[in-house]
């Protein structure tokens, strides 16, 4: 299934899979079409950016995020792990991701299997698998209730009952906790 999922993701498809925190509805962060589709499916507020899962710190360069050695060392304290970190992103070509905020949030998940998927698929947007304002799906069954056959694949990871990631803001060289 993972090869199928990767092929679908590389062709702007979207699907449901377990992340390191909760089930996510995922699509290529580098595909405007996939990102727009997820906004429609989730009925997500068009002004709210989504967290992007990446394989490693070096993936940030694709989004114009350049790090000094001090920040890179600090990131290694959190990544891989369940912490998403906000960075400035002024690139106009990523406006479909930053939604006018000129910031993007990234996370390097801990599970090796998920990081390997990201290495092959590329960065993925991964908001929780639910409609905006509804509880996140804790199982594939719940995700199917939200999305039915409107997504291209489902990957069952059993029941997941964890909290969303913590969110830190690293802009301006200082760390600020946004969500614990």
**Which CATH number does the domain housing residue 162 bear?**
3.90.870.10
Split into its structural domains, the chain has a count of 1
Distance from the Cα of residue 60 to its chain's centroid: 13
Output the pTM of the full model: 0.93
Q: Tokens 């949030």 sit at which residue?
A: 105
Reading the block at residue 11, the tokens are 């062709």
Residue 67 confidence (pLDDT): 85
Rounded Cα distance, 167 and 180, in Å: 7
In this structure, are strands 153-154 and 103-107 parallel, antiparallel, or unpaired?
A: unpaired
Domain ranges, residue 93: 2-179
pLDDT along the chain (180 residues), means of 10: 86 95 95 97 91 96 88 90 91 92 94 94 96 94 97 95 82 75
């Amino acid at each position: 299934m993972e090869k199928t999922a990767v092929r679908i993701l590389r062709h702007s498809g979207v699907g449901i899979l377990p992340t390191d925190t909760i089930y996510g509805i995922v699509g290529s962060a580098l595909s405007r079409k996939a990102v727009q589709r997820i906004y429609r499916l989730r009925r997500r507020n068009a002004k709210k950016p989504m967290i992007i899962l990446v394989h490693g710190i070096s993936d940030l360069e694709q989004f114009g995020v350049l790090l000094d050695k001090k920040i890179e060392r600090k990131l290694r304290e959190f990544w891989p792990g369940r912490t998403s970190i906000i960075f400035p992103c002024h690139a106009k070509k990523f406006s479909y991701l930053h939604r006018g905020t000129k910031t993007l949030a990234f996370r390097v998940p801990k599970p090796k299997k998920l990081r390997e998927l990201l290495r092959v698929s590329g960065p993925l947007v991964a908001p929780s698998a639910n409609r905006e304002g509804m509880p996140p799906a804790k199982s594939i069954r719940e995700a199917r209730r939200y999305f039915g056959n409107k997504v291209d694949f489902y990957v069952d990871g059993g029941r997941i009952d964890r909290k969303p990631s913590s969110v830190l803001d690293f802009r301006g060289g200082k760390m600020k906790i946004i969500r614990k």
